[in-house]
Structure 1
Amino acid sequence: MVLSIPRSDNLFSDVGIIGPTTPLRLEAAAKLAFPDGSMKVAGLRREIARGRLAYEVIANKHYVTLNDIEEMRKLCRVPVKDRASISVLRAERMGQSYEIQSGSCSTEARKSPQELLQLRISQRLQRKQSNSSQTI
């Protein structure tokens, strides 16, 4: 990627062509890499302090390249999470598996609250019977 910068801009003086490995002062790099003005010098300095933006110090001045900024953006990228229903999230939290049914609705395969209550009662009764048989 090679950018041609108009010479009338005082920020870039007589450079003319800026490539991906051209060392740029932080102000120039911020203006080139974020033309909407959303990133300022302070933001680039914070990313340097966090260790996400590689930089060079030449004559006590900080320089970065457009490649460095691209690498920083990769490090800052947030991965997309899979969408899941509340039922799936709740089942994962409780350590249970939850099969997603194909089709528009997966509520048909779930048990009613009454069936779940009967299942819990029968499980408790089985535990009580097994506990009482072990104490005899």
Structure 2
Amino acid sequence: MPYTVTVRDHMMVAHSFTGEAFGPAQRLHGATFVVDATFGADELDADGVVVDIGRASAALAEITGALGYRNLDEEPDFAGVNTTTEVLCRTIADRLADAVAAGDLGPAAGLATITVTLHESHIAWASYARPL
């Protein structure tokens, strides 16, 4: 994508993982994520933008607000799922794609991709990219 716009938010969650690979993270623990949502387009719209930054920020804040300050182990959407950083990236990207489809980000005919990156710390992060 020659054009991208990124908006940022954060969220704090509690969760645990199933599986020996996760060691002590099998126990309930907290995580704080910086969340970046990057919207990509091949061309700018008639106003010269990829997406309305205000609407994109609001959509991301609504999603992180719905996930934040919760024990994700208790959320029906995640029943039986390890809520790894990668899984949470995909969840947020899919919810943003739903918001685009619903028109919540305004006219977004030129949008082609969404990439969500969750930063676990200043040295570790994961991303998920999807087409629209």
Structure with bigger helix share is: 1
Relative CO higher for 1 or 2, CA cutoff 8 Å, sep ≥ 6?
Answer: 2
Q: What TM-score bracket applies, with the shorter chain setting the length? A: under 0.3
TM-score (norm 2): 0.21
Q: TM-score, normalised by structure 1?
A: 0.21
Tell me which protein shows more strand as a share of its residues.
Answer: 2
